[in-house]
Structure 1
Amino acid sequence: MTPVVRKKKPVGRRRISLLSAAQIEEMFSRLKALNPKPTTELEFRTPYELLVAVTLSAQATDVGVNKATRKLFPVANTPQQIAALGVEGLKPYISTIGLYNTKAANVVAMAEQLIEHHGGEVPRERAALEALPGVGRKTANVVLNTAFGEPTMAVDTHIFRVANRTGLAPGKDVRAVEDGLVKVVPPAYLHDAHHWLILHGRYVCKARKPDCPHCAIRDLCRFKEKTPGDPATLAE
């Protein structure tokens, strides 16, 4: 059988050389070997805690969100308790997080909607999740994947960068990258791919100075502006 050749794909004014199916398989095999059971760095115990944490994490770091929820969740970690706190009661717990005024209003409104329409439970349907205040496609994908085990792909800035730099699934916007990743990531890796890619982007394939010399997939990556390292230890 003739192997499928993926042609170069334009991204803006650049043309990205795409990884082959065999290279993608090798990429995720290596990422899995390094981290067999990846998960989110947000701290949570229930689907509702995860939903709140992801909602708070927009334009904020996981570290900052965890600091806030460590104080919040022992006091209020159900829709009923959050609704009882109200917006003004919630604000002091999340005031260290960016956009906390808007997020407090969304989280309380979300709690009220969960109580009214879903019996206080987090729905596991995309449409129902995206109908909640403060919940967009990325948040819904994280909850569906991490809380309910669905093979979804939540594309943030890290995943967008990695997918474009490596030639894995380049795209001009996050939805294009999401659709591309769902199409090319082997089914065996799809559930955990979101976590591997976000962690790789956060700690190795960083925006300003990627740590190419210590990258496990450096020889597969299509990024031309790799940071230098010892040529004797790097496969090209």
Structure 2
Amino acid sequence: MNVVAPRTAPPANVVAGGWLRRYSPTADVRRRLLVLPHAGGSAGFFHSWGTAFDSFTELLVARYPGRHDRLGDPCVTAMDELADRVTEAVLPFLDVPLSIFGHSMGASLAHEVALRLGRRHGRVPAALHVSSRRPPHRLTPRALHEQGDDALIEEVRRLGGTDESVLGDPELREIVLPAIRADFTIVGTYGPRPADPVGCPVYAYIGDEDPGTSAKDMAAWSDVASGGFHLDVLPGGHFYLVEQHEPLLRSVRARLGSADGAPAPR
């Protein structure tokens, strides 16, 4: 089997009106992976994924407004609006099989985008990958967005994944808090919703020490998986994907290939 080595330099550019960061492959595109970050997260969190796939795989990472060089763009505070905007942004990239990966809030968003692609545009994703988030019909939203800044920061610290130097610096914290509050508003006002099937395989991932989501919770994603389901439980907490970077990516790479019928990237 011919195996193409991952790229060593991730050429990236901003597309779709600023909504996506695009890591272009060095050969003809055979497949795409859309990555949707967590609450308070950004495309930069997944920058290392830009070199993680073969030269036939194009990576698209969502760039939510209100952070980094989109700091001046108004934050989105409703899941339906965010899903509509991301779906619109990805429409020009459906000429090859598209898989979607979402972590935490991004998993709920991934499900909503997958539904919109199928229902409104007749383009069912090749696969849906969901990480560290209960399925829509098992959600129990918390109203953290209605509490003060200290409560939000404490929750971000509890989950991990955010640089403590940012949270501990009053000036930096003031910059990132609007986006964090907007995202937690999305999380706190979304669900429960019906277990609407997406028409494609669903792959779920969870850390075995996640403080807010269990393997049993993630197993319930099988209710939306009309094309098959598999659950991976990896060591770690809510941000297991940092420590388990390589094991997670090995699984995602293999499943990208099986989803589009081309040789699986290693």
TM-score, scaled relative to structure 1? 0.25
Judging by fraction of residues, say which structure has more helix: 1
Q: Which has the larger radius of gyration?
A: 1
Q: Which structure would you say has the larger RCO, counting Cα contacts within 8 Å and 6 or more residues apart?
A: 1
